[in-house]
Amino acid sequence: MTVEWDWIADHTGELTALSVSHLQAALTAVLLGLLISLPLAVLAHRVRQLRGPLLGIANVLFTIPSIAIFVLLLPVSGLTRTTTVTGLTVYTLVVLLRNTVDGLDAVPAKAREAAKAMGARPLRTLLTVELPLALPVIMAGVRIATVMSISLVSVATYIGDGGLGQLFTDGFQRNFPTPVLAGVVLTLLLALVADALLVAVEYVLTPWNRKGRRA
């Protein structure tokens, strides 16, 4: 199996476009997933009775095979980007929801108490104390969800989208390994870079965790 560098050189424009589209699908899904799971997680955290059902639903959704999700969505949104993103979003929910709930659980009771005792109302406590303190655990979820989404985008090739995944079908159909290899390497690169960026974002957002013990 040899790599035909000429092919790669001839297709850089296409490869770049596919990478961008791939990343776009994955990141949009994670962002939507966050927007949906944040309020749900807060609800699950505050109302004990809702925690079981909400986490349960997310778990069940996660067990649906990915192709099946796209197929199920076809009658609703057809062969579009929306279908891809919606499918991926469903998968991010399970990890984002669970980690956000866990993160909120891990906020020291003392800090929450202190905010209340100083006269902060619940929304302010959530935004300025609970979410910042839950951030490391939430970010761990975001990292998993991002990497997972990046690897899952390819599945959407079956509905005509799929970013870099299109390289796989192309390569298989023509029995030509170079596009397949390029797709694998690029997917890996995207995942690595996205993960590294998220680590950097967390580092910037949690200055209290990086300063060493007593200076």
Partner 1 sequence: MIEFRAVHKRFANGTTAVHDLTLSMPAGGITVLVGSSGCGKTTTLRMINRMVEPTSGTIHVDGRDICSQDAALLRRSIGYVIQQSGLFPHRTVLDNIATVPLLLGWGRRKARTRAAELLETVGLAHDAGKRYPHQLSGGQQQRVGVARALAADPPVLLMDEPFGAVDPVVRTQLQDELLRLQKELDKTIVFVTHDIAEAIRLGDRIAVFRTGGRLVQCATPAELLARPADPFVADFLGAERGLMLLSLIPLGDLPRRPVPEGGRWELVLGPGRRPKGWRDRSAGDGDGALLPVRPLRDGDSLLSALNESVGSPCGLVVRVDTEGALTGVTSREEVHDRAGTAHASAARAASAPPEPAPRAGDHPPVADPAPASAPGTTGGAP
Per-residue binding string, partner 1, 123-142, x by CB under 8 A, is -x----x--xx---------
Helix (H, G, I), strand (E, B) or coil at 74: helix
Name the one range near partner 1 by CB under 8 A: 39-47, 94-102, 111-119, 184-192. Answer: 111-119
CB of 102 vs partner 1, minimal distance in Å:
17
Give the separation between CA 70 and CA 126, rounded to whole angstroms.
35
Q: Provide the Cα torsion 155, 156, 159, 161; round to 10°.
A: -130
- Which one of residues 1, 5, 121, 173 is an interface residue with partner 1 (CB under 8 A)? 121
User: How many other CB atoms sit within 10 Å of the CB of residue 99?
Assistant: 23
Name the one range near partner 1 by CB under 8 A: 1-9, 19-27, 61-69, 103-111. Answer: 103-111
Q: For residue 27, give the nearest of 190, 206, 182 by alpha carbon.
A: 190
Give the separation between CA 91 and CA 33, rounded to whole angstroms.
8
Please tell me whether residue 215 binds partner 1 under the rule CB under 8 A. yes
Q: Are 59 and 3 in contact (CB under 8 A)?
A: no
Give the separation between CA 146 and CA 58, rounded to whole angstroms.
17
Give the separation between CA 191 and CA 22, rounded to whole angstroms.
11
Q: Report 177-206 residues binding partner 1 (CB under 8 A).
A: 206
- Which one of residues 8, 31, 111, 201 is an interface residue with partner 1 (CB under 8 A)? 111
CB of 142 vs partner 1, minimal distance in Å:
18
Please tell me whether residue 105 binds partner 1 under the rule CB under 8 A. no
Please tell me whether residue 113 binds partner 1 under the rule CB under 8 A. yes
**Residues of this chain that bind partner 1 (CB under 8 A):** 108, 110-111, 113-121, 124, 129, 132-133, 206-208, 211-215
